[in-house]
Amino acid sequence: MLKKIIVLAGMALITAGSLNTVFCAEEIAVKVNGEKVEFDQSPIVENGRTLIPFRAVLEEMGLSVDWDADTKTVICTDGEKMGVLTVGSDEMTMGAEGQEIFKVNGGGVYIDGESVPIDAPAKIVNGRTLVPIRVIAESFGADVIWNEESRTVEINIEMKVDESELEKACDELMEILTGIAESGVVLDEKIADEFFSIADKLYEIQTLLDEMEYTQENVDKVTDMVKEIKLRVMDIVREADINIDGTK
């Protein structure tokens, strides 16, 4: 009996060791453009591939992410491309943004596009869907590096930043300032000094744009600053009764 217990204990230790090879969660970190991503379910390794909770990483990459619970499918887009990946499937389908998604009888979805093979299918662990991050990240143009020394998955992707609101705000401000300059109005000293202060502020904003980290959040902050300046200039135009074309 004692010998049997020892054998069973040994088998249990071997099993535990095997599981640790797969679920070595605490040993794996993930960074997107140098920023560490936090998870409520740790990554795992299967077949030499790292599977990671999909939403936190993909959203950090700037992708829009949906989850179809009926088919257990991850749907992600970057505004141009779309990828669909069903739990348990050995391939991911990449297509164009906005195209029709077809459901498959028996589970899963697909879109017309390129089939990308996967050697470690997505799976659900503790209620969280884990996906093979390398194949998805690279399919959306990211570089993926495995740092063995720090046991870190490093994902680097050029983040898309929408500057349209900033460009619009700058164009509107320039239109007003040009109108003031072409109106021929003689500004009194107080108003002239305020315009010089506004010019200094615009220079500070330009310097900030050159020095800041190029992210959507920072571009949005600068956009708000330009809009505030535009509103102040409009107030000056009204207070000084300056009649210029394009003033609203």
Quick: pLDDT tens for 215-224. Answer: 778 888 889 9
pLDDT of the residue at 20: 39
Confidence of residue 227 (pLDDT cuts 50, 70, 90): very high
- DSSP code for 38: P
pLDDT band at 148 (very low <50, low <70, confident <90, very high): confident
Question: Integer distance in angstroms from the first to the last C-alpha of the chain?
Answer: 93
Q: For the chain, what percent of residues have pLDDT higher than 90? A: 5
Q: In this structure, are residues 62 and 86 in contact, taking their beta carbons and an 8 Å threshold?
A: no
Q: Indicate if the pLDDT at residue 247 is higher than 60.
A: no
What pLDDT, on a 0 to 100 scale, did the predictor assign at position 4?
36
Mean pLDDT of the chain: 80
Which two structure tokens, joined as six digits, stand for 177? 């300032």
More confident residue, 18 or 58: 58
Q: Output the six-digit token pair for 40.
A: 């409520």
**Highest-pLDDT range among 2-16, 97-111, 209-223:** 209-223
- Is the four-CA dihedral 109, 112, 117, 118 of positive or negative sign? negative
**133: phi then psi, degrees, rounded to nearest 5:** -70, -35
- Please state, in angstroms and rounded to a whole number, the distance separating the CA atoms of residues 94 and 116: 7
Name which of 81, 53, 51 is nearest 67 in CA terms. 53
How many whole angstroms from its chain centre is CA 103?
Answer: 27
Burial class (CB in 10 A: 0-12, 13-18, 19+), 136: buried
